[in-house]
Amino acid sequence: MSTEQPKNPLHGVTLAALLRTLVDELGWEELGRRVPIPPFLREPTFESSLKFLRRHPEERAVVEALYLATRPPIG
Protein backbone atom coordinates (compact mmCIF):
# COMPACT_ATOMS: atom_id res chain seq x y z
CA MET A 1 0.00 0.00 0.00
CA SER A 2 1.35 3.41 -0.96
CA THR A 3 1.28 6.33 1.46
CA GLU A 4 1.50 8.91 -1.32
CA GLN A 5 -1.57 11.03 -1.95
CA PRO A 6 -0.79 13.04 -5.09
CA LYS A 7 -4.35 14.35 -5.46
CA ASN A 8 -4.67 15.49 -1.85
CA PRO A 9 -3.43 19.11 -1.62
CA LEU A 10 -3.31 18.85 2.18
CA HIS A 11 -1.12 15.75 2.23
CA GLY A 12 1.77 16.37 4.60
CA VAL A 13 0.25 19.53 6.11
CA THR A 14 -0.64 19.14 9.77
CA LEU A 15 -3.60 20.93 11.29
CA ALA A 16 -1.20 22.83 13.53
CA ALA A 17 0.90 24.03 10.58
CA LEU A 18 -2.20 24.96 8.61
CA LEU A 19 -3.64 26.96 11.53
CA ARG A 20 -0.30 28.64 12.28
CA THR A 21 -0.03 29.76 8.65
CA LEU A 22 -3.54 31.22 8.66
CA VAL A 23 -2.98 33.04 11.95
CA ASP A 24 0.35 34.44 10.72
CA GLU A 25 -1.12 35.57 7.40
CA LEU A 26 -4.60 36.72 8.44
CA GLY A 27 -4.52 37.23 12.19
CA TRP A 28 -7.14 36.06 14.67
CA GLU A 29 -9.58 38.90 13.94
CA GLU A 30 -9.76 38.24 10.20
CA LEU A 31 -9.79 34.49 10.75
CA GLY A 32 -12.76 34.91 13.10
CA ARG A 33 -14.53 37.08 10.54
CA ARG A 34 -14.08 34.50 7.80
CA VAL A 35 -14.74 31.44 9.99
CA PRO A 36 -16.94 32.56 12.91
CA ILE A 37 -16.34 29.76 15.39
CA PRO A 38 -16.01 30.29 19.16
CA PRO A 39 -12.24 29.75 19.54
CA PHE A 40 -11.54 32.35 16.83
CA LEU A 41 -13.95 34.92 18.26
CA ARG A 42 -13.53 34.78 22.05
CA GLU A 43 -10.00 35.13 23.42
CA PRO A 44 -8.44 33.02 20.68
CA THR A 45 -5.52 30.77 21.47
CA PHE A 46 -3.69 28.31 19.29
CA GLU A 47 -4.33 25.40 21.66
CA SER A 48 -8.07 26.01 22.09
CA SER A 49 -8.50 26.39 18.35
CA LEU A 50 -6.71 23.12 17.60
CA LYS A 51 -8.75 21.28 20.21
CA PHE A 52 -12.01 22.66 18.80
CA LEU A 53 -11.12 21.88 15.17
CA ARG A 54 -10.12 18.31 16.04
CA ARG A 55 -13.54 17.76 17.61
CA HIS A 56 -15.60 19.48 14.88
CA PRO A 57 -14.83 18.05 11.43
CA GLU A 58 -17.30 20.35 9.63
CA GLU A 59 -15.56 23.47 10.90
CA ARG A 60 -12.16 21.92 10.26
CA ALA A 61 -13.18 21.41 6.62
CA VAL A 62 -14.06 25.11 6.36
CA VAL A 63 -10.68 26.11 7.79
CA GLU A 64 -8.89 23.69 5.44
CA ALA A 65 -10.79 25.17 2.48
CA LEU A 66 -9.77 28.68 3.55
CA TYR A 67 -6.15 27.53 3.80
CA LEU A 68 -6.28 26.08 0.28
CA ALA A 69 -7.91 29.25 -1.05
CA THR A 70 -5.00 31.31 0.32
CA ARG A 71 -2.32 29.13 -1.34
CA PRO A 72 -1.00 29.92 -4.80
CA PRO A 73 -2.24 27.58 -7.53
CA ILE A 74 -0.12 24.53 -8.28
CA GLY A 75 1.22 24.12 -11.78
CATH of the domain at 57: 1.10.720.30
CB atoms within 10 A of CB 30: 13
Q: Please choose, from the candidates 29, 35, 28, the residue with its C-alpha nearest in 3D space to the C-alpha of residue 69.
A: 35
Are residues 40 and 63 in contact, defined by beta-carbon separation less than 8 angstroms? no
In a domain, 56, yes or no: yes
Alpha carbons 53 and 61: distance in angstroms, whole number:
9
pTM of the model: 0.85
In a domain, 57, yes or no: yes
- Average pLDDT of the residues of the chain: 90
pLDDT less than 70: residues of the chain: 1-6, 74-75
| Residue span of the structural domain in which 30 resides | 15-70
In a domain, 61, yes or no: yes
Predicted confidence at residue 31, as pLDDT, reads: 97
Distance of CA 54 to CAs 15, 16, 26, 47, 63, Å?
A: 8, 10, 21, 11, 11
How many domains, in total, are found in the chain? Answer: 1
